[in-house]
Amino acid sequence: MESDFWQQRWREQRIGWHQPKVNAWLREYWASLELPPGSRVFVPLCGKSLDMLWLVQQSHEVVGVELSSLALASFCEEHGLQAEQQEEERFVRHHAQCIHLLEGDFFHLRPSDLGKVQGVWDRAALVALPEPMRGEYARHLASLLDPGTQVLLVTMEYPAGEMEGPPFSVSAAEVQEIFGGAFHVKLLETGDMLAGNPSLRERGLNRLVEQVWQLRRF
């Protein structure tokens, strides 16, 4: 998907993927990663997610990457953050307290941009990408992470043809396929989520499950 697609969605405020509260899977399973206080956590395609503030409250430093300057400006404004901006080669870095927000393209990230991280939280990045891009996403994420880095990943699965993404359906088999070459992959839980997503039911879905995964880079 082209960057213009996401920029337009933010300009039009068509951001149905944004959650108005901290993600329940994050609350339930983050502790299973056993990251010590002060660990640096990466949130790809972060938008203006409230999850980043929750991670800071757990004594983590957060690094997010996001294409939309509107998303990052909204995040800072809504939470009273006075972010300092710094022009870098591939990104504009917005720094406020324990949060570093990189304005630019995830696929242009290099390890030197990100710094060493110990954890990754992905609720809305993988599922935002169409199938041809998901393998590239997994390979690029792996290239950014040191061995031992852990990822808490949420995917969703629904019947083919019932909805045109994003968010896209990602099967368990695909998760194993695209991440298995660089990560140990463990399924933590599968939950029926259709009842809690009336907007998706309105789009024609009859079944929706979310799956929570723990990945460890090897």
pLDDT (tens digit per residue) in 129-144: 999 999 999 999 999 9
Topology, domain 119-217: Rossmann fold (3.40.50)
Q: Which CATH architecture has domain 1-14+39-117?
A: 3-Layer(aba) Sandwich (3.40)
Q: Which of 6-10, 85-89, 175-179 has the highest mean pLDDT?
A: 175-179
Of all residues in the chain, the percent with pLDDT exceeding 70 is 95
The pLDDT of residue 65: 97
Neighbouring residues of 49: CB distance < 8 A, sequence distance ≥ 6:
18, 19, 43, 64, 75, 123, 124
Q: Is the pLDDT of residue 31 over 60?
A: yes
Q: Is the pLDDT of residue 184 over 90?
A: yes
Neighbouring residues of 113: CB distance < 8 A, sequence distance ≥ 6:
88, 90, 91, 102
Give pTM, 2 decimals.
Answer: 0.94
Rounded alpha-carbon distances, angstroms, from residue 79 to 72, 85, 128: 11, 17, 25
β-sheet bridge partners, residue 102: 65, 93
Domains 1-14+39-117 and 119-217 share a fold: yes
> Hey, where are the domains in the chain?
1-14+39-117, 119-217
Stated length of the chain: 218
The pLDDT of residue 164: 85
